[in-house]
């Protein structure tokens, strides 16, 4: 069974991160959801990052706002792919602080970064990563892409 770990810096990030949970559930991918603060619970962060793969997690999605160190710190310690979701928080610099904190990682510590508040795309990317070694998930991704295409073609047809 494939599993994606979804972590966030605080519960205020949950409304955004729910989009990743929901899209992964639509692909029948199990999720493990938790709050792991890089600044308030660093020991929990270290334990999570070092041991997620031992719990059967295949990909980690980490969402954070502000200084947004969570995705990079997890990526520095985990052997798993990490997808960072910059979250526009209430005391944010219009979201740019979290975008740049997640995007500008040093060499050797990759974080795949999606758009500001882009948790849905993070979930889709996690499913695509898993789909490379799971034929059932790959088929669901292919079907999802076909549905997207059909919706656009249907809308286009209405314009004519």
User: Over 90: is that where the pLDDT of 1 sits?
Assistant: no
Give pLDDT tens digits for 100-154.
999 999 999 999 999 999 999 999 999 999 999 999 999 999 999 999 999 999 9
What residues does 84 pair with on adjacent strands? 62, 113
Sheet containing 3-8, strands listed edge to edge, beginning at the edge strand earlier in sequence: 30-35, 3-8, 59-65, 82-87, 112-113
Calpha distance 80→87 (Å, rounded)? 21
Q: What is the pLDDT of residue 41?
A: 97
Q: Exposed, middle or buried by CB within 10 Å (0-12, 13-18, 19+), for 41?
A: middle
**Which pLDDT band holds residue 24 (cuts at 50, 70, 90)?**
very high
pLDDT tier for residue 92 given thresholds of 50, 70 and 90:
confident
pTM of the model: 0.96
- Lookup result for tokens 């995007």: 103
> What CA–CA distance (Å, rounded) separates 21 from 123?
7
pLDDT at 3 over 90: yes
Among 107, 104, 103, 119, which Cα is nearest to 14's? 119
48: left (phi over 0), alpha (psi -120 to 50) or beta: alpha
When the pLDDT of each residue in the chain is averaged and rounded to a whole number, the result is 96
Beta carbons of 50 and 26 less than 8 angstroms apart: no
pLDDT at 30 over 90: yes
Copy the structure tokens of residue 75: 């990526």
Model pLDDT, residue 128: 99
- Fold classification of 3-159 is Rossmann fold (3.40.50)
Q: Is the pLDDT of residue 43 over 90?
A: yes
Looking at the predicted structure, is the pLDDT value of residue 91 above 90?
Answer: no
Q: Convert the pLDDT of each residue in 70-90 to its tens digit.
A: 999 999 999 999 999 999 988
């Amino acid at each position: 069974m494939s599993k994606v770990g979804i972590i966030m810096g605080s519960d205020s990030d949950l409304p955004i991160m729910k989009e990743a949970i929901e899209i992964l559930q639509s692909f029948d991918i199990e999720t493990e959801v938790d709050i792991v603060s890089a600044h308030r619970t660093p020991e929990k962060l270290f334990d999570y990052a070092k041991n997620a793969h031992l719990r059967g997690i295949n990909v980690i999605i980490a969402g954070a706002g502000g200084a947004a160190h969570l995705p990079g710190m997890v990526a520095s310690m985990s052997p798993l792919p990490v997808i960072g979701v910059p979250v526009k928080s209430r005391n944010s610099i219009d979201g740019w602080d979290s975008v740049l904190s997640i995007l500008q990682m040093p060499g050797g510590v990759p974080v795949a970064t999606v758009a500001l508040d882009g948790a849905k795309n993070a979930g889709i990317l996690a499913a695509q990563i898993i789909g490379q070694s799971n034929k059932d998930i790959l088929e669901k991704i292919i079907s999802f892409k076909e549905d997207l295409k059909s919706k656009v073609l249907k809308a286009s047809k209405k314009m004519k």
